[in-house]
Amino acid sequence: MSFSCERRDKPFRTSSRTSLSLTMWSVKSTVRAGRFACRQISVEAGNVVFGRSGKQFHPMWLRERCVGPASVQQETLQAFRQPHDFPADLGIVSAQVSPLSDSGVAPRTLTVGFTDGHVSVFDADALNNEADDFAACGIQQSDIKCPDVFMWDKSTGSDVPRLSYLDVASGQPEVLLKLTTHLLRYGHVIVEGVPSRDGEVAAFARVVSGYPSVRPTNWGPVFNVRSYPDAALKDLSYTAEKLSPHVDNPYRNPNPGFQFLHVLENECASGESLAVDGFMAAEQLRLESPAFFKTLCQTDVRWENDGGDRSTALIHFAPMLEVDKSTGKLTQIRYSPKSGGYCPALSMEEADTFFQARRRFAELLHAESNTVRFQMVKGDLWIFNNLRLLHGRGEFNPNEGFRHLQGSYVDADAVTSAFFRAKYALKASSDSDSDA
């Protein structure tokens, strides 16, 4: 994103990832008082640098974005230095924006001289873009924007996105991009026609994620959901009982990110699956009662599991709702009464607020207006974000026939990295086509 840096007594070139080559000029003599714009970056008297939205750029914020050969390894753009290697009082002695080219389309740069003698040249657009959208613009990869989240309820989410197994198995980046975009935008997708083979779910998860292994649990790389226990390990899921909406494994740290659930056999007409968008329900709660939302974000409750055979304890202390500190957007839902979520001994007033909030959130999660129901058939493989979606099923009658689902997990970043891998592959292909 930024171009280059060297000490100012040396010529310099841009990073290997850019095609721009610049000739060094004296920055000291060109620093001017007053404001002048470069793609809306401005420099005030005293070399105070502002972005287009009016944010002042801290000297260290600028410096850690320098990708010159003295600052970062040129292939990876990974930093050489530690934070304490820089002067604690690092400042700016000069700051200059480049003039417009004759064509008016050349990249425009901000050149900054620092108090330790280092000079950096930055892409003004890249600085502004990152300052305005921290989550979308990176240093080591410039495009790190994920699809926008679309929250849904029964009226807007009843058509669960679907893809065919043969398309996904082809490994084409277009299909992988579509699949991962669905997962990141809507939180789930059903892949139809997946071969009903034991362990296929883990193999499929490895293909989608590009990771050589899935996230194992104490059940192993896959778990089986049927009306009788898996070996000696016990869980409410492994019965014919109805399962209210819940997330899996909130007692683990970190929680498994995406679940892959494959129907190997289903001869039962009963036992319809259900999905609830936890983000939507949490936003409804936030709108209704900011105080309720806040207490569910701030109270670390205790999630528990005994390993399925009482041989161990899986314990995690974490809130029911998590939000991104900078944006306030929801990042994770934890809700599973069978896994505890025990509240600490708060004051009477705090506990009262917490229990009222939890009760109301549970009502919203169970509201029919928030629930999407569908029947999964043999060969369906449902992939869903376990940090966002709650899943469940109706009670089923095992006398109707055999019902066997097999599941596996991958971490959340396995899906986001698959999304970027597909996106970058398509862009590289498009770039090479236009070069030809």
Residue with Cβ nearer Fe ion (123 or 248):
248
Which of 200/248 has CB closer to Fe ion?
A: 248
What is the binding site for Fe ion (CB under 5 A)?
248
CB-nearer residue toward Fe ion: 125 or 248: 248
Q: Of 407, 374, 406, 372, which is closest to residue 390 (Cα–Cα)?
A: 372
DSSP state letters, 36-66: -EETTEEEETTTEEE-TTSPBPPHHHHHTT-
Q: Please state the closest distance from residue 248 (CB atom) to Fe ion, in A.
A: 4
Cα separation, 194 vs 164, in Å, equals 8
Least Å from the CB of residue 247 to Fe ion: 8
Q: How many CA atoms lie within 13 A of 288 on its CB side?
A: 14
Q: Provide the CA 391 distance to its chain's centre, in angstroms.
A: 20
Q: Residue 162's closest CA among 389, 375, 377, 380? A: 380
For Fe ion, the closer CB: 92 or 261: 261
Closest CB 243 distance from Fe ion, rounded Å: 6
Q: Give whichever of 356 and 375 is closer to Fe ion, judged by the CB atom.
A: 375
Collapsed DSSP state (helix, strand, coil) of residue 169: helix
We find the least distance from the C-beta atom of residue 365 to Fe ion, in angstroms, to be 14
Q: Which is closer to Fe ion, CB of 139 or CB of 276?
A: 276
Q: Round to whole Å and give the CA distance between 73 and 305.
A: 45
Amino acid found at 201:
V
The least distance separating Fe ion from the CB of residue 237, rounded to whole angstroms, comes to 5
**Nearer of residues 248 and 277 to Fe ion, judged by Cβ:** 248
Considering beta carbons, is residue 122 or 238 the nearer one to Fe ion?
238
Cβ-closest position to Fe ion:
248
Please report, for residues 245, 340, 411, the alpha-carbon distance to residue 316 in angstroms, rounded to integers and kept in the order given: 20, 10, 17
Q: Given the DSSP bridges, would you call strands 314-318 and 403-410 parallel, antiparallel or unpaired?
A: unpaired
167/175 Cα distance (integer angstroms): 7
Find the shortest distance in angstroms from Cβ 407 to Fe ion. 8
Residue 413 CB, nearest distance to Fe ion (Å)?
21
CB of 190 to Fe ion, least distance (A): 16
**Cβ-contact 341, 334 below 8 angstroms:** yes
State how far the Cα of 364 lies from the Cα of 357, in Å rounded to an integer: 11
